[in-house]
Amino acid sequence: MARTEELILYRDFEHGEILSEMTWIMEHYKEKGAAVRERFFSCVHGLIDMAGTYGFEENLWHTYLAFLLVNHENVFSTACEIKGVGDGSLKRLASHDFEIFRELFAYDFAGLEEELGVKFFEEILHYHSEAAGKMFNRRIRDRICELAVQLAGSADIGEFTEHMITFYKEFGVGKFGLHKAFRVAHEDDGVKIVPITNIAHVYLEDLVGYEIPKKKLIDNTEAFVRGKKANNCLLFGDAGTGKSSSIKGILNRYYDQGLRIIEIYKHQFRDLNDVIGQIKNRNYRFIIYMDDLSFEEFETEYKYLKAVIEGGLEKKPENVLIYATSNRRNLIREKFTDNEERRDDIHITDTIQEKLSLVRRFGVTIYFGSPDKKEFQNIVRVLAKRNGLEIPEEKLLDEANKWELQHGGFSGRTAQQFVDYLLGQME
């Protein structure tokens, strides 16, 4: 049984400890002994723990096997993502590995239970829990559980293989396939791209007004996800006007078309080349996202960004764009004292041009301005209606005007905070 040592493409699983232990148990359980029982109970603990982490239900053994397959990045699975794969050597090699997995899916635990004298494993094969997983959204969790059922019910190796190809094409593989957004972590063994598991469900339709800026952003992003020429984008303007919300809305709209976002902070700009090196050969479209971007005059990190956007020897990959938001149009802060310093600078024009050149490397700049009083009141009306607030309009707007005077002036953020306050006061 357990021919996992014969696997060709699917080896060295990131979460493969349970698989290694279970296949060992399948081969040695008739020897009985305390070591076999202890390792079996440890595997059962691991399956239940994963169910709690990821929200898995039903046959936890099958779901675990499916989880391994959808997370394993190899030459076959990455070739399948988004584009699919034809009939060739890769597909035949993958089918060889899938035949071994079919045996694992079909394994009958009855004999093992009898030999070890355990009677609870049925719970693992028909597991139900009220706990929600913390690592996947419900859509991804349900699709993995659905895939587990499909793979277990496959009539032959051809059907099993097609189920896997379909999944990879629809969802992708590994962390980039199963998650929308990521952050960058600098760990001991290098730069890591880490999934963000709790994403705000913000949609472009949620942002009241700003139709012209939103259309400009949508047009550029649509061109990008379709493989056409597109530009790096700078969203600038007043605070609380929906710049960051627009980026989140773009992600939620185009995620199922292969769009992913990696958030990076100013102090991590020196890691940009490493990040791009990890994503440039994938079949996804990546937006490297920089929120609230600005630099003090003494900060030089912007030079790393300039080189990555345009100017380095290596061309920026076609599947990568940079989107940034900022309250400043020119990104780099300038003071009146700069004029005095420039008197001592022989090449004043060069100094100014260096600071402005960063902005010019964003091909699309989109302005988000604060609403006037009429626009602010309209935002309040729409948000109140969406949230089911039944308050006379005159009273609603009067209270909104009082709120904005005390909480930062006219902006979409102020309107949302006001509505949230009203919702919190409801019985």
Asked if 274 and 152 sit in the same domain, the reply is no
**Alpha-carbon span 363 to 357, nearest angstrom:** 12
At residue 353, the pLDDT reads: 63
pLDDT in tens, 39-71: 888 999 999 998 888 889 889 999 999 999 999
Number of domains in the chain: 3
Q: Determine the 3-state secondary structure of 253 from DSSP.
A: helix
Q: Which 3 state secondary structure label does DSSP give 258?
A: coil
Could you tell me the strand order of the sheet in which 181-187 lies?
A: 190-196, 181-187, 259-263, 285-290, 320-326, 233-237, 364-368
Final residue of a domain: which of 324, 341, 368?
Answer: 368
Under 8 Å between Cβ of 261 and 233: no
- pTM of the predicted structure, to 2 decimals: 0.80
pLDDT at 138: 76
Co-location of 170 and 108 in the same domain: yes
Cα dist from 160 to 114, 149, 274, 423, whole Å: 30, 11, 36, 50
CA distance 208 to 201: 16
Residue 309, domain extent? 181-368
Distances (CA, A) of 354 to 200, 210, 291, 311: 37, 32, 22, 13
As a whole number of angstroms, the distance between CA 291 and CA 111 comes to 57
Among 161, 177, 193, the domain boundary falls at 177
Query: CA-based angle 3:6:7, to the nearest 5?
Result: 105
Cβ–Cβ < 8 Å for 80, 169: yes
Q: Do 173 and 253 fall within a single domain?
A: no
Write down the pLDDT at residue 218: 95
> Is 56 in the same domain as 195?
no
Nearest CA among 263, 257, 267 for reference residue 275: 263
* Sign of the C-alpha dihedral computed for residues 327, 329, 334 and 340 taken in this order: negative
- Both 330 and 419 in one domain: the answer is no
Do 145 and 248 reside in the same domain of the chain?
no
Answer left, alpha or beta for residue 260, where phi above 0 means left and psi between -120 and 50 means alpha. beta
Q: Are residues 303 and 347 in the same domain?
A: yes
Beta-strand pair 233-237/364-368: parallel
What's the average pLDDT block by block, 10 residues per block, for the chain (427 residues)? Answer: 84 92 86 79 91 89 95 92 79 95 91 79 82 69 92 95 92 87 86 85 85 93 94 88 90 90 89 90 91 72 71 73 82 55 53 63 86 87 86 86 84 86 81
Query: From CA 10, how far away is CA 80, in angstroms rounded?
Result: 14
**Residues 242 and 107 both lie in one domain:** no
Q: What is the pLDDT of residue 352?
A: 54
Report the pLDDT value the prediction gives residue 17, as an integer from 0 to 100: 94
Residue with tokens 């190809």: 165
Same domain, residue pair 137 and 196:
no
């005077």: which residue's tokens? 405
Distance, CA of 420 to chain centre: 27
| Amino acid residing at 1 | M
343 and 194 belong to one structural domain: yes
351 and 421 assigned to the same domain: no
Q: CA 331 from chain center: how many Å?
A: 27
Domain containing 247 — which CATH number?
3.40.50.300
According to the model, what pLDDT value does residue 170 have?
84
Q: Which helix (H) or strand (E) holds 279?
A: helix 272-279
pLDDT digits (tens, 9 = 90+) for 124-142: 888 887 666 666 667 788 8
User: How far is 19 from 2, CA to CA, in rounded Å?
Assistant: 10
Q: Which of 319, 335, 368 is the last residue of a domain?
A: 368
Do 26 and 125 share a structural domain? yes
In whole angstroms, give the CA distance from residue 144 to residue 308. 37
Paired strand residues for 322: 288
